[in-house]
Structures are given as structure tokens and as C-alpha cells.
Structure 1
């Protein structure tokens, strides 16, 4: 039986589709605020002062996430703007203080627990240093927390921030992941393409094209490549640069530029059994 659809209302501040957005739905126990870092100067009269909530900071490539709680959304965001470099967008879930005051700490903890599990599936690299290793059983409001988190996860996924592997009628997308390769420039890079959400995991052991003086077209991707090299996550082995850990990308082209450099169309660079993903999936 087909499930009933759901509608959400999105308010675009300053009539800018790429700017600050406020998301509402009667089933949500919160209002969601999507705030690009480049729009920080516009936040003063947008984020309510008396609401509390949890928030997620994502980097541009959707490979890193930080989770926090706040009783002062604007103040906390301004602090992170000054002190944390990696993030490019903040998504805050805020509610009235009297509704969430007894839940906020456990909601943050539960979100971290879920992202820790997702991290093991290489969805995101969790940037939190505290509250790691906690167990769900330690939470006293687990049933209510799970309901709120389900709505948070739904809202994030609606804007293509899939913090956990999605379930579909076809089953767990991990089981339907498609092995892919990128070989331009003489490299041999391997990945797993998720046809359900368009994401890709570039696998450890992949060759990375760094020696040809061909920086990635996107500044953020090139910065990530150099950061991986500097931190030993890309190492030179027998004359070739080798990726030392899996990396998740929300889209195909940034992943291709990460391994090949230059400007890439991920739909044609990544292939499975000799056929491009564009051919196989009509992308």
C-alpha cells in the first residue's frame, strides 16, 4: 500500500533560493533553519533568541558533520563561524524551551550515537570529540527522542543531507551498491556508487592523480586533496599516491575531481563493467 505523501513549507529569506531557508511542517516538533555560512550576516533577525535545539554543521562536500545543542542558536553559530573552519552550511532544529528543555541533551547524544554508527558505514566523518561511545540504553527518554530524530533525519534527507543509509523497497542500498572505477590519467580508483541517493564512496587503496600539476577544478576539492596528503591520508607508495581511507561524497563529480584532478563529469568518469553510470542509470 502506497504511503500518504507529506508536504513541507519552505520560506526563502530575501527571496534567495540559495540563501537562508526556514522549513516547517505540522508533523515536525521543530522549525528547521538552513543557513549557508556565506549568509551569516543575514542571521541576526532570523534565528529566534528564546528557542533551543540541536544543529548539524556540514562541509561543502558533505563528508564531515558536527552535531551540537544550543540554547542560543545565533550566538552558538557565531562562535562556530569564528572557531570552526570546515563547515559551509548549518542546519538547526529549534523548538520552544519548555517543550525540549528535558530532552535537548539526550537528543544531541542520540544524534551523535546514530552518526557514529553511520560513520562506520563511511557516510560522514563525525567531527565531535565528546559524547562518543555512548549507548542508547543509557538514555531515559529514548522513545520520544527516536521520534524527534526520525523527523530530523527526514528533514535533512529532503535537502539531500542523508545522514544515514536510506532504506528503500529494494532493501538496504549497501547491498545494491555498484562497484565503479575511474581510470583517466592512468590511475585506478575504485568506489561504490549508491543508486538510491546518487552518492559514492571512494575506497581506500584508490590511486589519486596528484603528480600531473592538475589541481581539482573546485577549490574546496583541491583543498581536501592537499589536506589528505598533508595528514597522511594520501600517501606516496612506489611512485603512486594511494588513498588510505574510504571517503564519502554526496555527488559523483566532486568524487571524480578528487581522484583525477581538473574538471570532471562524474556521470561519465565513473564506470562499471566498462559502461559509464550515465549509460547504466540514464543519469
Structure 2
């Protein structure tokens, strides 16, 4: 189904675009509030903090690490978030999904918490801090239908605020030429990747060499590569490394360096199957 145009309203209670933000689709009852950790006391004084809610603690992590998220639900949001503020270090912002009509029940919240955890695990974009996928709660069919509609709206609002928790880092490749992967086959690498609106995604199964060149030792790129190995994104296989899942890099060059173990200009190293560079297809074509 082709997505339909939508109007999303973002309200700034404090007038600061980096402060608390409240997003909603004007014709629906679901709201998502984005709250910086430093402004948690201000949020806890707002009436929305007195509702049944599903919430997401998010942290970007160190450079090169996947962002992290913890999913929760509560009918006593003030107590729960105060507890997380004292006990959990990783998070920087909390995203709170509530109803403008205060109509979410604990049954809604339990199903949405479980469903969101499944979607986050499937997408693989954020590392889930919950540690497990939870157990599906018993939910009557009419209520489950309501929850799925709430989830759809929340999904869109979260992505609009800059948190695509439920979106895979790479679309599945199809016959559409725009979706065909780029190849990196230099310095012993055999990589496939796609250029997306978020950055460059190296696809699962891509292979690169394990060792890095001497000039890369001690650099941020080398540290990033080691963190990918430690996180299990890269698996060592003899003198090679293999991507165990699709992984998003901020730049094509970062993706190429991780594969080849040397400095590289990813715009020139990534090429289509007929040999055209990523630069020619994605940068020069825009200039033309």
C-alpha cells in the first residue's frame, strides 16, 4: 500500500527545539513526548506523566556502537522513570507514548510493550537493553486491533522525532535498480551494501580481511572496527571477518574501512555491478 500524506504537529512546551517535544498526528489520539534526561523533572510535573504509558529509554552509545533502547510500560510513570534515572546510566532521552484522551489501559500497555520489543529485535537497528523479548500477554482480539493501530501511529511519530526504532537499517533488495547493492571488492574484501537516507549499510554476509594496515593502528577507525568485533557485528573467520547482520555506518568511507582494514574513500570504493562508483551515481548525478 502506498503511504498517504500526513500532517504531524510538534509542540515545544518550553519553546526550545532541543528540549521537550510533543509529536502527534492531528487526527489521532496518540502522542509521543521526547524528553531529554536533564529535563526529566519538568516532564514529571506535566499531566502526561500521570498516565498509563509505554516508554523507551534511548542512548546513542559510544562512537561506532549501535544505539541502545530499553522498553517499558507503567501506570505510575513518575515513580518508574525516577527509578530508571537513579539506576540506569546508558540513556540520554526518554520517549513516552500516551493517549491524548488518557484512554490507554494496563492491558494496552502490556501488549504494546511486548509488540514493540518484537519489532525492535526484528529491525536490529537498536540494541535492546531488556535482555529478552518478553512473553506475549493475553489480549482480546478487539483490544489487540486497537493496540496495533496505536503502534502504527507511534511508529510514525517516533521516526519523525528521529528514532526509527522499528525500521530495519536496510530495505530488502528487489528488482528495483535503486535497491541494488553496491559492491566493495578491493584489498581482499567481498562486501555488499546499500546507500540509504540514514547512511551506508553493509549487508549481512559481507567479508573483509581481519588484519589492518600499520597506518590504521591506533586510529579511531581501528577502535571502531574492534568494537564491531566485540559487539558481534563482525565475526572473525580465519584471516577474514564476516558481517553477522546488516550494519549502518554514518558514511560510505567508514563502511569501506571496516571491510578493507585500511584508509579508503568509500564514494570511490563502492561500485555498482557494472562498475560505476557510488560517487558517480549518488553525488555527481545530483550535481548534474
TM-score scaled by length of structure 2: 0.69
Map of 1:151 onto structure 2 = 153
Q: How does 1:39-78 map to 2 (within 5 A)?
A: 39-47=36-44, 48=46, 49-60=49-60, 64-73=68-77, 75-78=79-82
Deviates more, 1:155-164 or 1:206-215: 206-215
Post-superposition shift, 1:156? 2.1
**What does the per-residue CA deviation read over 1:158-217, in whole Å, with 9 as the maximum and x for residues that have no partner?**
234331359xxxxx7542543223467x35152331657656244234326663315336
Map of 2:27 onto structure 1 = 27
Q: Identify if the C-alpha distance between structure 1 residues 199 and 56 changes in structure 2 by more than 3 Å, giving closer, same or farther.
A: farther
Map of 1:230 onto structure 2 = 230
Map of 1:161 onto structure 2 = 163
Distance (whole Å) between structure 2 residues aligned to residue 277 and residue 143 of structure 1: 43
Deviates more, 1:73-82 or 1:152-161: 73-82
Whether the aligned pair in 2 keeps the contact of 1:44 and 1:74 (CA below 8 Å) is: no
Whether the aligned pair in 1 keeps the contact of 2:233 and 2:243 (CA below 8 Å) is: yes
Q: Identify if the C-alpha distance between structure 1 residues 268 and 32 changes in structure 2 by more than 3 Å, giving closer, same or farther.
A: farther
Distance (whole Å) between structure 1 residues aligned to residue 134 and residue 148 of structure 2: 18
Q: Give the paired residue count.
A: 264
Q: How does 1:122-201 map to 2 (within 5 A)?
A: 122-132=124-134, 134=136, 138-140=138-140, 141-162=143-164, 163-164=166-167, 173-175=172-174, 176=176, 177-182=179-184, 186=187, 188=189, 190-193=191-194, 195=196, 200-201=201-202
1:10 aligns with 2:15: no
1:109 aligns with 2:110: no
2:99 alignment partner, one of 71, 95, 101: 95
SS where residue 56 of structure 2 aligns? Answer: strand
Q: Which runs of 5+ in 2 are unaligned?
A: none
Whether the aligned pair in 1 keeps the contact of 2:210 and 2:236 (CA below 8 Å) is: no
Q: Identify if the C-alpha distance between structure 1 residues 75 and 160 changes in structure 2 by more than 3 Å, giving closer, same or farther.
A: same
SS where residue 69 of structure 1 aligns? Answer: strand
Q: Identify if the C-alpha distance between structure 1 residues 81 and 164 changes in structure 2 by more than 3 Å, giving closer, same or farther.
A: same
Distance (whole Å) between structure 1 residues aligned to residue 211 and residue 16 of structure 2: 37
Distance (whole Å) between structure 1 residues aligned to residue 85 and residue 257 of structure 2: 27
Q: Identify if the C-alpha distance between structure 1 residues 4 and 132 changes in structure 2 by more than 3 Å, giving closer, same or farther.
A: closer
Q: Which runs of 5+ in 1 are unaligned?
A: 167-171
Map of 1:281 onto structure 2 = 282
Post-superposition shift, 1:114? 3.1
Distance (whole Å) between structure 1 residues aligned to residue 268 and residue 108 of structure 2: 47
- CA root-mean-square deviation: 4.0
**What does the per-residue CA deviation read over 1:202-234, in whole Å, with 9 as the maximum and x for residues that have no partner?**
4234326663315336xxx946x4344335554
Distance (whole Å) between structure 2 residues aligned to residue 264 and residue 51 of structure 1: 51
Map of 1:169 onto structure 2 = none
Post-superposition shift, 1:96? 6.1
**What does the per-residue CA deviation read over 1:54-112, in whole Å, with 9 as the maximum and x for residues that have no partner?**
12344436554432213344554454455445545432212369511241111112222
Deviates more, 1:144-153 or 1:243-252: 243-252
